[in-house]
Every structure is written in structure tokens, then in C-alpha cells.
């Protein structure tokens, strides 16, 4: 994990060196303390979680806390009692059940090539974070379709490494054993 974080920080620092105006969008996660770029409207906030998992974990914990507090309250206990009775069929439900909410419009699906190369490519929040960062770097709005095209273009390119040739060969052999 440490080499991945080190590589992330190298890329972040080089981005900030070439685009100094993005320094105002630099934010630190309040949980894991990692630096990340955020949308300009969130610049300067100190209560943000990083898009690498802290935000989701905090949301999950707070949901559990709220739910526990509600069901320990007398009103929540009564509601839960009624729900359990309905589930057991002891109370007849009046009227029709509420209609299901309309389905959300589907965003641009992740192409199979990207999904195969990037295991987290299907994680919608991480993809959205990448889209925001690319939009900030390019100083223009970037759509999801454009992002997928960029990723496909990058994944097709051969990497220009900073390692010696033998190190590349060893890395390739480790990834693709004979």
C-alpha cells in the first residue's frame, strides 16, 4: 500500500506544481489525513472525507448511529413493533403500498476494457472523483464519456517507466508468469 500512496503523492505534487491554482482545492481527509483534490465549492473545508473509502465508512457509521438512536427512542420502538407485526401478518396493511421510486437515469457505463484494467472502475464515487479532478486540471467540464475515452487511450499506451529495462522485464514476468 505504501508504494501506491507514494506514487499518488508524486502525481499530486507534480499536478500542483504545474497547476498552482489547484492548491486552493487541496484538502485533507479528516479521518485518514491523506491529501486529495476537491471541487472548488468545497475548498477550505476541514470536515471532508477522502473519496478512497473514508467518506463511505463515515456515512455507514453515522447511519448506524442514527438508526440505533431512533429505535431506542419510544417512538422508534413503537414503529419497529408495528413493522414486526406487519411482517408476521398480524396487522392488515391499509391501502396500496407506496409506488417504487422511478429508476435513476443510468450514467455512461464503464467499458469492459477499462473495467478489466482498473478493478475499481465500477466504483461510481471514485470515478466521479476522477472526473472532478480531471475537470479541475483541464479547467473545463469533463463528461463521463470523455473520461472513459481518456482512460482507454491511456490504457492502450505503453508506459514510459523510470526503471531500468531489467526491472521492467522482471515486473512483466511477475505479472505474466510463463
Specify the higher pLDDT residue, 113 or 4.
4
The pLDDT score that the predictor gives to residue 69 is: 92
Mean pLDDT computed over 22-33: 90
Q: How confident is the model at residue 64 (pLDDT cuts 50, 70, 90)?
A: very high
CB neighbours of residue 37 within 10 Å: 23
Mean pLDDT computed over 33-41: 89
Is 114 buried (19+), middle (13-18) or exposed (0-12) by CB count in 10 A? Answer: buried
Q: How confident is the model at residue 177 (pLDDT cuts 50, 70, 90)?
A: confident
pLDDT per residue over 78-114, tens digit each?
998 888 888 887 655 555 555 666 666 556 667 776 6
Amino acid at each position: 500500500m505504501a508504494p501506491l500512496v507514494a506514487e499518488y503523492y508524486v502525481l499530486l505534487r507534480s499536478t500542483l506544481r504545474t497547476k498552482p491554482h489547484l492548491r486552493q482545492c487541496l484538502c485533507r481527509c479528516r479521518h485518514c489525513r491523506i491529501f486529495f483534490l476537491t471541487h472548488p465549492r468545497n475548498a477550505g473545508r476541514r470536515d471532508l472525507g477522502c473519496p478512497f473509502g473514508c467518506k463511505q465508512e463515515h456515512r455507514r457509521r453515522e447511519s448506524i448511529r442514527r438508526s440505533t438512536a431512533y429505535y431506542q427512542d419510544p417512538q422508534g420502538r413503537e414503529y419497529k413493533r408495528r413493522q414486526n407485526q406487519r411482517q408476521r401478518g398480524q396487522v392488515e396493511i391499509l391501502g396500496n403500498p407506496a409506488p417504487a421510486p422511478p429508476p435513476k437515469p443510468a450514467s455512461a457505463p464503464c467499458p469492459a476494457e477499462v473495467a478489466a484494467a482498473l478493478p475499481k472502475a465500477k466504483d461510481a464515487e471514485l470515478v466521479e472523483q476522477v472526473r472532478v479532478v480531471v475537470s479541475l486540471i483541464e479547467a473545463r467540464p469533463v463528461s463521463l464519456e470523455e473520461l472513459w475515452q481518456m482512460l482507454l487511450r491511456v490504457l492502450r499506451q505503453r508506459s514510459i517507466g523510470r526503471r531500468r529495462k531489467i526491472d521492467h522485464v522482471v515486473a512483466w514476468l511477475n505479472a505474466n508468469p510463463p
